[in-house]
Amino acid sequence: MTTTLDDFLDELRADRDLAAHADQVEDALSALDIEADGNLHAQQAFSAAEWIIRQPRTIEEKVFALTKLFSLPGAVVVNMHELTGW
C-alpha cells in the first residue's frame, strides 16, 4: 500500500524539472519525521508538510508551498490557508 508521501515522491521523480531533487526531498522529510518523534515543533512542521502534500494541487504548487513553509524562521504558528493561498 502506498502512502500520500510515496505518491508525492513518485510524482516528484516523474517531473523532469524536479526529479533531480526527489532524493533530497525524501531524505529531508524522513529526517523531519524521525525528529518529530520527540519534538513538538518538528511534529507540527511534519503535519504541515503532510497537509500540503495531501492537497489536490500540482507538483509545482506543492513544492512552492513546501519551500515557503520551510523558509519560515524558527518555530512559528502558521495558518496553512494563508501560507498557501489555497
- Predicted confidence (pLDDT) per residue in 47-83, tens digit: 999 999 999 999 999 999 999 999 988 777 788 989 8
Cell numbers describing residue 84? 498557501
Q: What was the pLDDT predicted at 1?
A: 55
Q: What is the pLDDT of residue 45?
A: 93
User: How many whole angstroms separate alpha carbon 65 and alpha carbon 74?
Assistant: 17
Give the residue from 52, 41, 45, 61 showing the smallest Cα distance to 81.
Answer: 52
The arithmetic mean of pLDDT across residues 20-31, rounded, is 96
* Average pLDDT score, the chain: 93
State the pLDDT at residue 23.
97
CA 41/CA 24 separation, integer angstroms: 21
Query: Could you give the CA distance from residue 18 to residue 65 in angstroms, rounded to a whole number?
Result: 14
For residue 27 the three cell numbers come to 531524505
C-alpha cell at 3: 502512502
